[in-house]
């Protein structure tokens, strides 16, 4: 099965991305004894980054919610803004690993790494993807090597064709991966939610967390099972069922309430399609 194929259904695309984690991790060539810090995109964090955190023995991680668009001011340039972020402290001399299943905008990769590092001094930087672009990889490598004066390695399992619209392809892939009926709010990776609640992330468990659960003794190292859950689609299916119930409840709202909502919607800002 292709790693990234826009003809796949959402669950199949998620499985394809998750199944590539082992191969991408080997390609990163992490050295024995290196302290690994992982940077990921919220759009595919649970599918791509969370399994790699345990596999690589990462000591900490960051999750960013980038929003990309074609710059109206500069030709052939992509603007990047962050609408949300979860960043754990970056130790100096760490091996900083950025993982993103579809990485087709060099501006996005550079913005994510520099946003997380700030004044930290990494030992080296490694970037891995399922689907990439050779020109994007070259530009990212050149920029980060000059800025941080460290070794930068970057590689992908597959490469997109030269005539493809890279930004459009990336946005469509992440939009397909996010199978929520409603996308007014940024998606929250289960791994990040568990960290915020001070709980261990268990990909094999049903959605929802034990209110009585607390931090474990292994807080310094992320606890993530390297294996996919037996029912990979259960968590995603649960999310779709929950939001479908909300949609059904909304359809029962009285007509006058619907009319009021329509009036108010004229003054609301538009919601980016990607999220």
The helix or strand, by DSSP H or E, that contains position 234, with its residue range, turns out to be helix 234-251
- Segments of the chain with pLDDT less than 70: 1-2, 183-184, 204-275
In the block, tokens 């791509």 appear at: 48
The alpha carbon torsion through 15, 197, 82, 98 (nearest 10 deg) reads: -50
Which residues, listed in sequence order, are joined to residue 81 by a DSSP beta bridge? 67
- What percent of the chain lies above the pLDDT cut of 90? 45
Angle, vertex CA 269, rays to CA 265 and CA 275, nearest 5 = 105
pLDDT at 162: 80
- Each residue's pLDDT tens digit, 4-25: 877 778 888 888 888 888 889 8
Looking up tokens 């359809």, which residue turns up?
251
Predicted local confidence at residue 22, as pLDDT = 87
* Chain segment 145-190, per-residue pLDDT in tens: 999 999 999 999 999 988 778 888 888 888 888 877 776 678 889 9
pLDDT score, position 219: 40
Determine the Cα–Cα distance for residues 44 and 60; give it in Å rounded to an integer.
17
Percentage of the chain beyond pLDDT 70 is 71
Which domains does the chain possess? 10-265 (3.40.50.2020)
pLDDT value of residue 248: 57
**Helix, strand, coil: what percent of the chain each, to 5?**
40, 20, 45
Residue 70 CB neighbours (<10 A): 12
* DSSP code per residue over 103-139: ---HHHHHHHHHHHHTT---SEEEEEEEEE-HHHHHH
Predicted local confidence at residue 83, as pLDDT:
94
pLDDT score at 247? 53
Distances (CA, A) of 9 to 18, 125, 264: 14, 33, 34
């Amino acid at each position: 099965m292709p790693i990234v194929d826009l003809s796949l259904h959402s669950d199949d695309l998620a499985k394809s991305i998750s199944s590539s984690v082992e191969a991408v991790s080997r390609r990163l060539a992490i050295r024995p004894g290196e302290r690994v810090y992982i940077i990921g995109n919220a759009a595919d964090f649970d599918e791509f980054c969370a399994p790699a955190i345990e596999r690589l023995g990462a000591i900490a991680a960051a999750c960013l919610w980038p929003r990309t668009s074609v710059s109206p001011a500069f030709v052939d340039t992509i603007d990047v803004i962050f609408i949300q972020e979860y960043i754990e402290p970056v130790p100096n001399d760490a091996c900083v690993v950025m993982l993103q299943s579809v990485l087709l905008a060099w501006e996005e990769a550079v913005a994510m790494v520099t946003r997380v590092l700030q004044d930290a001094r990494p030992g080296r930087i490694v970037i891995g993807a399922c689907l990439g672009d050779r020109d994007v990889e070259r530009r990212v490598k050149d920029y980060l090597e000059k800025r941080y004066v460290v070794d930068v390695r970057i590689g992908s399992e597959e490469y997109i064709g030269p005539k493809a619209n890279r930004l459009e392809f990336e946005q469509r892939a992440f939009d397909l991966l996010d199978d929520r009926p409603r996308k007014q709010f940024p998606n929250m990776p289960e791994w990040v939610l568990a960290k915020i609640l001070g709980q261990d992330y268990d990909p094999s468990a049903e959605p929802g967390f034990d209110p009585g659960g607390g931090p474990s003794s292994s807080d310094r190292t992320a606890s993530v099972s390297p294996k996919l859950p037996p029912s990979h689609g259960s968590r995603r299916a649960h999310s779709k069922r929950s939001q479908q119930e909300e949609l059904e409840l909304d359809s029962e709202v009285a007509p006058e309430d619907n009319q009021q909502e329509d009036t108010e919607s004229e003054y609301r800002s538009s919601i980016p399609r990607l999220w």
